[in-house]
């Protein structure tokens, strides 16, 4: 399976049998088969037909639209899982404080462990910053021990906050001073590193929404993150153990100079990744996204098992023409 990225002004997409056709000014400029696709990401002034949207949904292909300069995400999702009982049990479990604490602890410990291992890996090679990296890892280890004994969600979140602060203290040492990256910031990002992290986290979150929806869970009802109007709290939960995939990729893109300061501009106080830089990013994202997608899928299915008390089975393939 693969992801299609369309980031080109004035392109129209339509369906021709089992083929996705690209047109510009009424002329056909490209075509690709629909069958291998699992995700479509659209950015910019792209036109897509209603029949194509319907076919993508029937085929289980999620569509992510990144609109405006800030790339605000909107999702068109595939058919939901047929077992609505999963969502009912999820809602019931979300009222169980002990269950919520257990799920939240597992997700956060996995995140902190992955980030800590990443810093220690880098400390082996980066002699100049070995002290900062190892110090950050030690603080994260202490926070992880506090998380293990936390008896409330508030205490767990407090320990996770300490771990996150320690992680970014070490993480920032991995980047050149010219990138002006000193801490995590967003809405809007203030430097190139945060701009790439934000884009990666956005794509990861969208994938978590699609995966939760596909296995029959409600993306809005979480266990770590509280209910909040308009927030996909479960998706926010699910991305936690997988954030390090975005952080590793971001570090590699700058280390290998796939992305440089020249790929960014500042617009209305925000640091934005330009079109040429986005092309580099999407190409690299494609290399890691399948692994992240499978990991998210595994996390979702494990959660389904915990919620229902039964082994989670994959949803049956959608049969074309099946309306019920």
Question: Annotated binding site for Mn(2+): which residue ranges?
Answer: 160, 225, 240
- Exposure of 47 by Cβ count < 10 A (0-12 exposed, 13-18 middle, 19+ buried)? exposed
- Please tell me the distance from the alpha carbon of residue 245 to that of residue 231, in angstroms, as a whole number: 22
**Encoding tokens for residue 100?**
């919520």
The DSSP secondary structure of 142-207, one letter per residue, reads: HHHHHHHH--SHHHHHHHHHHHHHHHHHHHGGGS-GGG---S---SS--SHHHHHHHHHHHHHHHH
- Residue ranges for the known binding site are 160, 225, 240
> Could you tell me the CA-to-CA distances from 234 to 19, 100, 115, 281, 300 in Å, in that order?
34, 11, 21, 26, 10
The span from the first CA to the last CA of the chain, in angstroms, equals 26
């Amino acid at each position: 399976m693969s992801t299609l990225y369309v980031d080109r002004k004035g392109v129209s997409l339509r369906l021709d049998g089992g083929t996705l056709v690209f047109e510009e000014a009424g002329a056909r400029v490209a075509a690709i088969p629909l069958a291998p696709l699992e995700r479509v990401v659209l950015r910019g002034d792209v036109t897509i037909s209603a029949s194509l949207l319907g076919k993508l949904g029937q085929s289980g292909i999620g569509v992510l639209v990144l609109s405006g300069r800030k790339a605000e995400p909107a999702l068109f999702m595939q058919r939901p899982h047929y077992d609505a009982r999963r969502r009912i049990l999820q809602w019931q479990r979300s009222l169980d404080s002990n269950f919520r604490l257990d799920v939240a602890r597992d997700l956060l410990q996995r995140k902190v462990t992955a980030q800590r291992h990443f810093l220690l890996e880098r400390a082996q090679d980066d002699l100049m910053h070995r002290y900062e990296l190892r110090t950050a890892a030690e603080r994260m280890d202490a926070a992880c021990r506090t998380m293990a004994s936390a008896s409330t969600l508030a205490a767990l979140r407090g320990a996770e906050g300490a771990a996150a602060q320690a992680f970014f203290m070490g993480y920032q040492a991995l980047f050149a001073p010219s990138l002006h990256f000193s801490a995590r910031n967003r809405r809007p990002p203030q430097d190139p590193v945060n701009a790439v992290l934000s884009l990666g986290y956005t794509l990861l979150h969208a994938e978590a929404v699609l995966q939760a929806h596909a296995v029959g869970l409600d993306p809005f009802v979480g266990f770590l993150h509280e209910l909040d109007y308009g927030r996909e709290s479960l998706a926010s939960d699910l991305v936690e153990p997988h954030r390090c995939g975005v952080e590793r990729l971001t570090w590699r893109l700058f280390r290998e100079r796939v992305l440089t300061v020249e790929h960014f501009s500042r617009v209305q106080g925000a640091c934005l990744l330009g079109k040429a830089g986005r092309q580099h990013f999407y190409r690299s994202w494609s290399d890691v996204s399948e692994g992240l997608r499978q990991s998210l899928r595994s996390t979702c299915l494990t959660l389904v098992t915990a919620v229902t008390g039964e082994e989670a089975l994959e949803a049956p393939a959608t049969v074309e023409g099946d309306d019920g």
